[in-house]
Each structure stands twice: as C-alpha cells, then as structure tokens.
Amino acid sequence: MIAPTSHTEGKDFLFPIRVYYEDTDLSGFVYHGQYVAFFERGRSEALRAAEITHSKLLTLDPPAVLVVRNMEIDWIKPAVIDDLLIVRSTIETARGARMTMRQQIERNGEVITKATLEAALITKNGGPRRFPPEILQILEAWIDPPTP
C-alpha cells in the first residue's frame, strides 16, 4: 500500500508514517522512544499546515522556539515493521505562552498510542514568550476542545 498524503479531518491534522527497520528494537516492535519522534513529526507538520513553522518563530522579535514542556503517552498496542501509521494531531488550547495538544497514532483506523502534551513558546534564552496575536489567531482557528 502506498502511503496517503497528509490531510485534515475537521480540525485534526493527519500525517502518515511508515515503520522502517530503524524504528524497531530487538523485539521487532517499534522502540518506545521512537513514538516521541513520530509525534514530533506529526505536530511539526500540523503547525506547518497552519503556516506556523519553526523558522518563522525564529523571525519573531525576540526569536522564539516551541518546546515540549510536558508529555504523557499511553502505549496501547505495538507497531511493527512495514506498518502504515497515521499521526493525528489536535490543538486543544492556546493562550499566553502555552499550547496543549492531543495526539494519537492509528493503524488501520485503530488507535495504538495516545499522547497529550503541553508545549511552551520560549525565547532562545529560555524565558517564556507569549504567542503574538497573529499566531494566536491562527492557533485558535485550529482549536478543537476536548469533549467532556
């Protein structure tokens, strides 16, 4: 099966990832730390789709970077070599210098890994930096709050 291209479903951004040999460990399953990289790719591409790139954040005055402050992962089922996975990324909140996001990795429509995270916008010196209004406005258009 040829991997589909990235796309949106409502306010979710879906990014395909193929599992390669280099993603697996001795067990033949995807190494647990590799899921963090998969989530990072999905998150970066979701922000890129919203026209918020890391290089654009560096052009702010003062320059800023988006860093993960907290992440909680629930590994439900393992992925294996040649699996075609979809990383689904959804922005839940964005205010001040923080953004929360939920992400999940799906295989054939089944959720195999879930994550929630909080990211912070900081200056290159490490101090917090509020999202500029124009970026906050873009993020707010993508927000899909969690259902109770």
Closest by CA position to 95, among listed 128, 127, 124, 73? 128
For residues 59 and 130, what is the distance between their CA atoms, to the nearest angstrom? 15
25 is catalytic: yes
**Options 12, 25, 61, 83, the catalytic residue:** 25
Q: Which residues contact 138 (CB under 8 A, 6 or more apart)?
A: 50, 51, 52
Burial (Cβ within 10 Å: 0-12, 13-18, ≥19) of residue 122: middle
Could you list the active site residues? 25
